[in-house]
Structure formats: C-alpha cells, structure tokens
Amino acid sequence: MSINANTRQLDALAAVFRVNAVRAQVQATAVVRRGALNVKNGWRANATATAGQHARLYPSSISFDMRPHPRGASAEIGPDKGKPQGALGNLLEFGSVHNPPHMDGARALAAEAAAFTAHVAAIGTQMGRG
C-alpha cells in the first residue's frame, strides 16, 4: 500500500522560509552594523566631552568589529588597546579608587537601545508577513 500526497504547497512554504531566513540574516547584519556604528559614534562623542586633556587621544581608539553569528550578526564595540590611549578604556569607563567612572560607552549603548530594538522588531514583523 502506498500513499501519494501533493507536497507542492509545503515545498513552496519551505522555499519562502529559506528566502526569508536569508533576507532576515542580511537585514539583521545591517541593523547590527548600524547600531554598532551609532554606539561607537556616541561613545566617541561622550568620551570627547569627558576625557579632557589627559586622554585626548582616547576617543579615537573606540571602534567596532563585526562578529559572525549563525543566525544574524554581533558586534564588539569599544576601545582598541592597540591604539593610542586605548588601554585607558577600563579606567575611564568604570573608574578607579581615584577616578570616577565616565560610563561613556554605557550611555552610548543606552541611547541606541530603543532604536535597535525597534529595528529588530521590524525585521520580525516583516518576516511574519512573508
């Protein structure tokens, strides 16, 4: 005994899922890249305002690197210790016994959070519509 079934609709749905998955990954990478750039620029602006003369090269050390991720993208944002004054990052961001924390990166991240979340939600909504 054999059962024959028409799977054209399932095959078409699977194709839509594959296309949407690729599109979602491309869009997610773009959203992460834009968010990382915004955080980097905000962090640099904050650091320029708070670092003063003693760390005037520090803001230029702040950069970001995109990291591969199986279902989208991630980014690492912060001071590059290989650049001038980049090694001051922990001290300036979190402070020490003798220096108050600046929290320049944390403030930049907080400023970007709502827009980033909205962009990610928009991708989800768009993918839900197919």
Tens of pLDDT, residues 61-109: 999 999 877 777 889 999 999 999 999 999 999 999 998 999 999 999 9
Is 39 contained in some domain?
A: yes
pTM exceeding 0.95: no
Secondary structure, 3-state, the chain: CCCCCCCHHHHHHHHHHHHHHHHHHHHHHHHHHHHHHHHHHHHHHHHHHHHCHHHCCHHHHEEEEEEEECCEEEEEEEECCCCCCHHHHHHHHHCCCCCCCCCHHHHHHHHHHHHHHHHHHHHHHHHHHC
Is 4 contained in some domain?
A: no
Domain, as residue range, for 119: 10-129
Is 83 contained in some domain?
A: yes
Is 5 contained in some domain?
A: no
Is 22 contained in some domain?
A: yes
Close Cβ partners of 26 (under 8 Å, ≥ 6 residues apart): none
Number of structural domains, the chain? Answer: 1
pLDDT of residue 15: 65
Is 109 contained in some domain?
A: yes
pLDDT of residue 59: 97
